């Protein structure tokens, strides 16, 4: 994994651990993506976490998902992830009525946090 991919994976895993005491909660990648894009209540995230996840996803051009074949996390390009997410979303309807799109804009806080984390890995 590239440094950005590794940091994205690490942040996703840490959020899972901090929230649910699970290193990689089942469907974590889908629930985080939903919380960022089309179902804000899908996963409890603070604004700094949201910005860092968005920025890192943009920086590495994809997302991290659980690969059942590898039995580990893996990187996937945005186009392939969009197809995988659409399949998952079709069988997992949104909860509640708040389905507003949070947009793709990333504030400077997320970029700064992510940049610091990437620099720390070098």
- β-partners of residue 77 are 62
* pTM for the whole structure: 0.78
CB atoms within 10 A of CB 10: 16
**How does pLDDT run along the chain (122 residues), one tens digit per residue?**
999 999 999 999 999 999 999 999 999 999 999 999 988 888 999 999 999 999 999 999 999 999 999 999 999 999 999 999 999 999 988 875 443 333 334 444 555 566 566 555 55
The residue ranges of every structural domain in the chain are 3-121
Predicted local distance difference test score (pLDDT) of residue 98: 42
Rounded to 10 deg, the angle between the 28-37 and 78-91 helix axes is 100
Enclosing H/E stretch for 16: helix 3-20
Predicted local distance difference test score (pLDDT) of residue 92: 87
């Amino acid at each position: 994994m590239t440094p950005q991919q590794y940091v994205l994976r690490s942040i996703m895993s840490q959020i899972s651990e901090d929230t649910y005491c699970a290193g990689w909660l089942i469907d974590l990648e889908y629930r985080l993506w939903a919380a960022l894009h089309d179902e804000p209540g899908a996963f409890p995230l603070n604004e700094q976490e949201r910005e860092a996840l968005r920025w890192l996803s943009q920086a590495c051009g994809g997302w991290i998902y659980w690969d059942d074949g590898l039995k580990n996390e893996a990187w996937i390009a945005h186009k392939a992830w969009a197809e995988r997410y659409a399949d998952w979303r079709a069988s997992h309807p949104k909860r509640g009525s708040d389905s507003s799109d949070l947009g793709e804009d990333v504030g400077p806080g997320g970029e700064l946090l992510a940049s610091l984390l990437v620099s720390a890995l070098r």
